[in-house]
Amino acid sequence: MDLEVLADDFDRRDWQERTETADPIRFAMIGVGWWTREQAMPAVANANLCETTVLVSSDREKAAEVASNSHTVEHAITYEDFHEGVASDAYDAVYVVTPNAVHLPFVETAAELDKAILCEKPMEATTDRAKRMIEVCDDHDATLMIAYRMHTEPAIRRAKDLIDDGVIGNPIFINGNMTEPILDLVPDPDQWRLDGELSGGCAVMDIGLYPLNTSRFLLDENPLQVRGTVASVHEEFDDVPDEHGAFQLDFPDHVYAVCTASQNAYMASHISVIGSAGRLRVEPAFYPWDDRALTVSRGGTTIDVDFEQIDQMEEEFEYFSHCLLTDTKPYADGEHGLVDIKAIKAIYEASETESTVTLH
């Protein structure tokens, strides 16, 4: 097997048919925190298939200030305005990037207004609210996609291609990690990620989700059962169960994923898959500001796989917009997102009960 030949000929947008439109998808950004300002809005500004036309915030002045720096934003409105349908003619889709526990009401309103919905992961703070989100979108025939950046990340898509082609044989083990010092990145001890009611969890819920979901994507399987241990050690994390977390996912055919996550550790991310005939590894993997790197090993040979570095958020918005423009169902729908919520809640249960939890 010639690894060099197998590593060639990769289309980073293998999901995209030819799409030309004079009318890009118009987005209302719901929540104008740092992620929207520094990641989402610049990504959409560089994209071809979409644009930002409405900003929605709890603070009208804040929304207006952010809007003043954009040549496409037409309206800066409050959350109350949004729920009342203000400026609803000015956008086709919403991007929901509020705290986890308040995703649902914005999705409900967007569905009632006949808008498409791109909802940040995790889709909600509890299983019941995630189920309700699916129900309301089904009731209104609203398109819902959960915003998993890794699904359109070329390094991860290339890794999946190589796994599907049998380059490393049959997958046996996955190891994934995502860690960060959250209070250095967002120096606010009152931030919503450290509020258990708003976040629904901390390390596993916020960033452990990346190795969890990426494992599912690479294997094209869902976990059957989980084990896990979580702990909050420092007082800043007293309101959440998991400053640190480690968990195992049991997939069909005796494939196991072991994952770690922390909101109070050195910033690092990777995912690796060991198979019966080889190994592949993406490191760095999950942070959008890092250049990703993919290596593949087989038969004593290790190669670096080339691919184009992209803006993960731009790729995600382009994919969602492409789906809307071509009437294609997005890959990560609400049912897909619900699997992650169930798995995460099961990890917390497994830690508390010191047991293995079966997923239903």
Domain boundaries, the chain: 25-148, 154-309+331-358
* pLDDT score of 11 more than 80: no
* pLDDT score of 241 more than 60: yes
Structure tokens at 132: 């309700």
Give φ, ψ of 268 to 5 degrees.
Answer: -160, 155
pLDDT tens by residue, 176-193: 999 999 999 999 999 999
Q: What band does 4 get if pLDDT is binned at 50, 70 and 90?
A: low
Check if the beta carbon of residue 203 is closer than 8 Å to that of residue 245. Answer: yes
Inter-residue long-range contacts of 61-65, CB under 8 Å, 24+ positions, other chains counted: 62/32, 63/32
Question: What pLDDT does residue 306 have?
Answer: 85
**Cis omega (within 30 of 0) on the bond before 24?**
no
pLDDT tens by residue, 212-223: 999 999 999 999
Question: What pLDDT does residue 213 have?
Answer: 98
Question: Cα–Cα distance between 126 and 145 in angstroms, integer?
Answer: 18
E strands, 198-288, are 225-231, 244-251, 255-262, 264-275, 278-282
- Degrees to nearest 5, angle at CA 333 with 98 and 310: 70
Question: What pLDDT does residue 3 have?
Answer: 63
* pLDDT score of 12 more than 80: no
pLDDT tens by residue, 311-351: 999 999 999 999 999 999 999 999 999 999 999 999 999 99
Question: What pLDDT does residue 14 have?
Answer: 81
Looking at the domain that runs over 154-309+331-358, which CATH code has it been given? 3.30.360.10
Question: What pLDDT does residue 19 have?
Answer: 63
What is the mean pLDDT of the segment spanning 269-298?
Answer: 97
pLDDT tens by residue, 43-52: 999 999 999 9
Question: Cα–Cα distance between 256 and 250 in angstroms, integer?
Answer: 5
* pLDDT score of 5 more than 60: no
Question: What pLDDT does residue 278 have?
Answer: 98
Q: Give this prediction's pTM.
A: 0.95
Average pLDDT score, the chain: 95
Question: What pLDDT does residue 263 have?
Answer: 98
- Degrees to nearest 5, angle at CA 320 with 314 and 326: 125
Domain 25-148: CATH superfamily is: NAD(P)-binding Rossmann-like Domain (3.40.50.720)
What is the mean pLDDT of the segment spanning 126-140?
Answer: 98
Question: What pLDDT does residue 107 have?
Answer: 98
pLDDT tens by residue, 103-126: 999 999 999 999 999 999 999 999
